[in-house]
Structure 1
Amino acid sequence: MNKKRYTIECLTNLHVGSGDINYGTIDRLVQRDAVTDLPTIHASGLKGALKEFFDANNEINNDFFSIVFGSVPNSRKTKSNKQNIGSYIFNDSHLLALPLRANDAPYYMATCPEVFNKFTNANVPDINKAVLIGGERKNSQIEDLEENDFEEKDPFTEETTKLLKDQLGTKIIVLPFKEFKKYCNNLPAIARNYLENGESKNLWYEEVVPSKSIFWTDIIDGTETNEINKKIEDTFSKIEESSVQIGANASIGYGQCKFKSV
């Protein structure tokens, strides 16, 4: 088996709905991990999005869909098509980083040791206060953080700092898990309006994961190594060549994402 790890950068706001009934002020919530309660993209939604992405390319034949996904898209189904178990294994996508507004840059990418270590199998040490990388505390003024919320000294080694920058860029803030989760629990909520014959009938609110956020996922190729399956693998790599639409509201630009192999 060949496992590939990808980062998924949100080029636009993302809403992959949880489907849960909510009696709060936000009507439609995003999917969340059952253990950490952080935003996630369930494997079934990711698989469906990638299947639609390849379906839009008419040059890709049905053998590819059968091997990778287990069945061809509905638009291509005939009586001769049989549904089987696909050879590719899709996993949930985990949140890696969120953008936070700042004073000295458009945003800083926020993560936490627990989340980053799961992604890299690194050993970023636990912290009690925020650590700023690529900025100065007095000038940065990260949203909702005061100067005394930061560590006095950078506890990270040069190797750890380089690892963070390689994945998240030059402006980073590493938060304790509790603080990181606080931001994840206060995602933007966008007002939407239901119109009927041009008349407003209902105002409702939809939670979104903001653009520039980064997820990661593992996709496992369970096929045997041969010439045919090598061509399948090469075709699958097209997900890195252009954006993939994930989740709802494609018509208003939501869910455009960029895949990058790690």
Structure 2
Amino acid sequence: MNQLFYTIQCKTNLHVGSGKANYGVIDQLVQRDPTYQYPTIYASSLKGAIKEYCYHIGFKEMKKVFGSEKGTDGKTDHDHSGIGSYKFFDANLLAIPVRCDKQAFVHITCPNILTDLSEKLPDQCELKRALSSLIEKLSDETAEKLSDKPAVAITFSENLKDATIEDFDIKAKDKNIQLDSCIKELFNGYEIVIVKNNYFDRLVNDLHLPVIARNYLENGESQNLWYEQVVPRLSLFWSTVLYPGDEILFTHLFEPNVLVQIGANGSIGYGYSSFSEIKIN
């Protein structure tokens, strides 16, 4: 089996629901990784979104890739379904945009995320070597710098030196560490800031992810008001897929201007996302 890595950039707010409520203000929660509790897109949701996109563009290899086709009514033909040749995996959070006092936002990530991606990449991958080197440099600074009070974050841009991140009074410090071009490409050229794992946990918990009020109207009267959690637009995820032989699916997804709608509420603009390949050779 061959392996392909890719990123997903949310062009609009994303709600891939977990089907759970927190028995408080939020009625509809997003899916979360069971280990770190970071927002995620489960493989089944991702596969379903890609399959729906392929159906609408008339993709000819539906049964080969996904294990089943859709009829003219758009419903899956379960009577003739099997196991698809592509093996999809969860999409893990890579970075999330957070407000900053020096510019509108910066993309925040953390050592847990960088380490997890690095461990999944092939041994001879240039990006793996670059991430491993970056993690090692950050580790050398962690005891001294990431334990300072007030807490600091690591920035790689002179423009963000001493910037205050979000409402935690986290100060971004420039460590004079140069990012490799492959890491910049991984983050789509966005300026990134790395914070401690426990601060990242707080930035993506239920108290800090955006919550949007939704309302159902019947004859102009409100019948149901609920609150829905979303992952903000411009967030980045990464994932991987296994496939046999020649790659026949993601070449379509990587084309310019292709948007795949993931999760719920596509009719009101949620979940429209673009795909980019992570180079591993």
TM-score (structure 2 length as normaliser): 0.81
* Alignment correspondent of 1:9: 9
Q: Which SS does the other structure have where 2:34 is aligned?
A: coil
CA distance in 2, matches of 1:76, 1:29: 28
Q: 2:20 maps to what in 1? A: 20
The whole-number CA distance in structure 2 between the counterparts of 1:38 and 1:2 is 27
Q: Which residue in the other structure is 1:166 paired with?
A: 185
Aligned residues: 246
Partner of 1:97: 95
Inter-partner Cα distance in structure 2 for 1:254 and 1:79: 27
Structure 1 distance, partners of 2:106, 2:27, is 29
Q: String of CA shifts for 1:11-41, please: whole Å, max 9, x gaps.
A: 0000000001431111000000111100000
Deviations 1:132-187 (A, max 9, x none): 2222334x33221436x445x61x743x4655433222422110010011111020
| CA deviation string 1:70-115 (max 9, x = no partner) | 0112536798962111110000010000001123322101001120
What letter corresponds to residue 169 of structure 2 in structure 1?
Answer: E
Partner of 1:68: 65
Q: CA RMSD in A?
A: 2.2
Match of 1:214 in 2: 236
Q: Distance in 2 between matches of 1:189 and 1:51?
A: 28
Counterparts of 1:10 and 1:4 in 2: how far apart (Å)? 20
1:189 aligns to 2:211 (yes or no): yes
The whole-number CA distance in structure 1 between the counterparts of 2:160 and 2:51 is 44
Counterpart of 2:154 in structure 1 is 131
The yes-or-no answer on 1:109 pairing with 2:107 is yes
Instruction: Give ranges in structure 1 of 5+ residues lacking alignment.
Output: none
**Shift in Å at residue 219 of structure 1?**
0.8
* Aligned partner letter, 1:130: A
Partner of 2:201, secondary structure, is helix
Matched, 1:204 2:223: no
Structure 1 residues 90, 197: CA separation in 2 closer, same or farther (over 3 Å shift)? same
What percent of counterpart residues are identical?
Answer: 42
Of 182-191 and 98-107, more deviation after overlay is shown by 98-107
Letter in 2 for 1:10: C
CA contact (8 A) 1:190 1:205 kept: yes
Q: What is aligned with 2:267?
A: 251
Aligned residues of 2:28 and 2:227 also touching (Cα < 8 A):
yes
Per-residue CA deviations over 1:28-55 (Å, capped at 9, x if unaligned) read: 0000011110000000000000000000
Flag the 1:76–1:252 CA change in 2: closer, same or farther, 3 A.
closer
CA distance in 2, matches of 1:10, 1:190: 17
